[in-house]
């Protein structure tokens, strides 16, 4: 029974582990009573399966390295974009500062221009008044009064003073006009600088948005790759466990083969001793041992009742959300009774890592039925069960699905349970 239980665990670990994408045919079942030739065949098959598992481990490890390289590149992109973002923000801050300075300069120029225009206006008023006075002074009667009783030298001085005043007024007007022109040119230059800065700021803001998008994408890629790496790590751990299970199966097969050889040698010695006994000697009849009535499931195809009520949410051969495919069916249901689909012997009834409480029933002729995700168990390994007997109550699978996972296997091959159920 211990050998059968170990074989059942190995079968589960190798075949319908969702994270390992297992092959439905990679199962070794050990029956303590099988002959030596059959043990040799199963040992050879286990060796092939072990080779396949190791090959899968190498493949997953190779894929894992690829994902790790991709994640490292994503981290480099994150670092590079972070540096570029900080630089772009600093450049944008500098442009904003230049823009503020230019705005202040423009405001000062506009104030100066306004003051200059006020000054020009006042100067023009003064010059206009002077021109009016000069015009009045040029009238004949005014000239007569101006030159009357005045000597020639004084007249010359007065005329020279008049010319000086006019020239001074003209210089003031020219200087004011030049200052105004300079201010207008400076104002135009500042406005052009502001337009240039505005364009640069818009470009820098667009660059920041692009860098931010690249940075967010890189962070998302890194998180996605971290999740994938975690799943690959889980796959490798599961495959390592499968490898260990197969090694244990092979060790049990070897031990069983050795035990059979010892038993055969002992039987031969005993037979020789019996032949040497007298013809009247009586050989004690061994006590009868209980036998399990294994009737198989072949004749019951399409007639079996469902092991639990509920809706079939996962069908044989369909992809599972967590990876791999369903090697049986998943019946979604709240807590309800789980019943044996046919009579047989309980080969396994205990918690199984990755699957929760699991019951495996041997129906004979190479047929097994598997019930996983039970919240509680009502049977134990080695016990006999009848058809429709309660095995336990449904619970939740480790992946979070609430209900029952059910398989039917024939000679270690997963079959479509719906073909047996009515």
Q: Which of 366, 353, 369, 352 is nearest to 406 (CA)?
A: 369
- Report pLDDT for 13: 47
Instruction: Label residue 145 by pLDDT band (50, 70, 90).
Output: very low
Q: CA angle, corner 236, sides to 79 and 395, nearest 5?
A: 105
pLDDT > 70: what percent of the chain? Answer: 72
Q: What is the mean pLDDT of residues 52-70?
A: 84
* Local structure of residue 165 (DSSP, 8 states): H
* Local structure of residue 289 (DSSP, 8 states): -
Give the range among 50-54, 103-107, 221-225, 322-326 with minimum mean pLDDT. Answer: 322-326
Q: What is the mean pLDDT of residues 225-233?
A: 85
Q: Report the SS3 class of residue 258.
A: helix
Instruction: Label residue 376 by pLDDT band (50, 70, 90).
Output: very high
Q: Which of 54, 52, 53, 36 is nearest to 254 (CA)?
A: 36
Give the range with max mean pLDDT: 99-113, 149-163, 193-207, 238-252: 193-207
Report d(CA 46, CA 28) in Å as an integer: 6
The set of residues, in sequence order, having a beta carbon less than 8 Å from that of 315 and lying 6+ positions away, is 326, 329, 418
The set of residues, in sequence order, having a beta carbon less than 8 Å from that of 292 and lying 6+ positions away, is 344, 345, 362, 364, 384
Q: Find out whether 50 and 251 touch, Cβ atoms under 8 Å.
A: no
- Report pLDDT for 142: 44
Q: What is the mean pLDDT of residues 87-107?
A: 82
* Local structure of residue 310 (DSSP, 8 states): S
- What's the pLDDT tens digit per position in 16-54? 444 344 444 344 444 555 556 666 666 777 777 777 778
- Report pLDDT for 140: 45
Bigger pLDDT: 155 vs 231: 231
Q: Report the SS3 class of residue 389.
A: coil
Q: Find out whether 398 and 309 touch, Cβ atoms under 8 Å.
A: no
Give the range among 147-151, 187-191, 231-235, 416-420 with minimum mean pLDDT. Answer: 147-151
- Report pLDDT for 293: 44
Entry pTM? 0.41
Q: What is the mean pLDDT of residues 220-247?
A: 80
- Report pLDDT for 397: 86
C-alpha separations of 305 from 1, 372, 389 in Å? 27, 17, 11
- What's the pLDDT tens digit per position in 260-281? 678 878 888 888 887 777 554 4
Instruction: Label residue 136 by pLDDT band (50, 70, 90).
Output: low
Instruction: Label residue 194 by pLDDT band (50, 70, 90).
Output: confident
Q: CA angle, corner 204, sides to 201 and 207, nearest 5?
A: 155
- Report pLDDT for 49: 76
- Report pLDDT for 7: 52
Structural domains of the chain sorted by starting position, each given as residue range(s) with its CATH number in brackets = 16-274 (1.10.287), 294-422 (2.70.70.10)
- Report pLDDT for 274: 78
Report d(CA 19, CA 32) in Å as an integer: 31
Locate 378 and state its tokens.
Answer: 């009502």
How many C-beta atoms lie closer than 10 Å to residue 70's C-beta? 16
Q: What is the 3-state secondary structure (H, E, C) of 323-370?
A: CCECCCEEEECCCCEEECCCCEEEEEEEEECCCEEEEEEEEECCEEEE
* Residue 345 bridge partners (DSSP): 362, 384
Q: Find out whether 66 and 280 touch, Cβ atoms under 8 Å.
A: no
CA 134, 138, 141, 145 dihedral sign is: positive
Locate 400 and state its tokens.
Answer: 């979070």
CA 326, 332, 337, 343 dihedral sign is: negative
- Which helix (H) or strand (E) segment holds residue 257: the answer is helix 152-276
First vs last C-alpha separation in the chain: 31
C-alpha separations of 173 from 69, 185, 199, 231, 259 in Å? 77, 18, 39, 86, 127
- Which helix (H) or strand (E) segment holds residue 376: the answer is strand 367-377
Q: Report the SS3 class of residue 28.
A: coil
């Amino acid at each position: 029974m211990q050998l059968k239980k170990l074989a059942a665990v190995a079968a589960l670990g190798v075949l319908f582990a969702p994270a390992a994408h297992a092959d439905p045919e990679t199962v070794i079942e050990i029956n303590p009573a099988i002959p030596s030739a059959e043990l040799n065949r199963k040992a050879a098959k286990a060796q092939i399966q072990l080779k396949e598992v190791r090959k899968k481990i190498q493949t997953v490890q190779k894929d894992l390295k690829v994902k790790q390289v991709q994640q490292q590149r994503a981290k480099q992109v994150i670092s590079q974009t972070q540096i570029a973002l900080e630089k772009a923000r600093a450049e944008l801050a500098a442009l904003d500062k230049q823009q503020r300075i230019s705005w202040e300069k423009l405001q000062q120029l506009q104030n100066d221009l306004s003051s200059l225009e006020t000054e020009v206006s006042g100067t023009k008023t003064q010059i206009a008044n002077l021109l009016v006075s000069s015009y009045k002074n040029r009238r004949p009667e005014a000239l007569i009064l101006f030159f009357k009783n005045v000597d020639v030298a004084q007249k010359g001085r007065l005329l020279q003073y008049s010319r000086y005043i006019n020239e001074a007024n003209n210089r003031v007007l020219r200087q004011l006009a030049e200052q105004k022109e300079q201010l207008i040119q400076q104002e135009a230059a500042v406005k052009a600088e502001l337009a240039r800065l505005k364009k640069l700021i818009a470009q820098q803001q667009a660059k920041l948005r692009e860098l931010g998008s690249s940075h967010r994408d890189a962070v998302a890629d890194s998180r996605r790759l971290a999740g994938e790496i975690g799943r690959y790590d889980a796959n490798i751990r599961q495959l390592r466990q499968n490898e260990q299970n197969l090694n244990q199966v092979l060790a049990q097969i070897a031990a069983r083969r050795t035990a059979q050889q010892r038993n055969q040698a002992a039987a031969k010695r005993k037979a020789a001793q019996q032949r040497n006994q007298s013809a009247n000697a009586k050989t004690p009849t061994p006590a009868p041992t209980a036998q399990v009535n294994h009737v198989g499931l072949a004749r019951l195809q399409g007639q079996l009742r469902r092991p639990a009520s509920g809706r079939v949410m996962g069908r044989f051969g369909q992809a599972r959300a967590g990876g791999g495919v369903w090697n049986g069916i998943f019946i979604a249901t709240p807590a309800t009774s789980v019943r044996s689909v046919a009579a047989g012997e309980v080969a396994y009834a205990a918690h199984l890592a990755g699957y929760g409480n699991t019951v495996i029933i041997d129906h004979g002729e190479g047929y097994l039925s598997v019930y996983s995700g039970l919240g509680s168990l009502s049977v134990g390994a080695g016990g006999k069960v009848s058809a429709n007997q309660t095995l336990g109550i449904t619970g939740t699978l480790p992946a979070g699905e609430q209900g029952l996972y059910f398989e039917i296997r024939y000679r270690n091959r997963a079959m479509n349970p719906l073909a047996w159920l009515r």
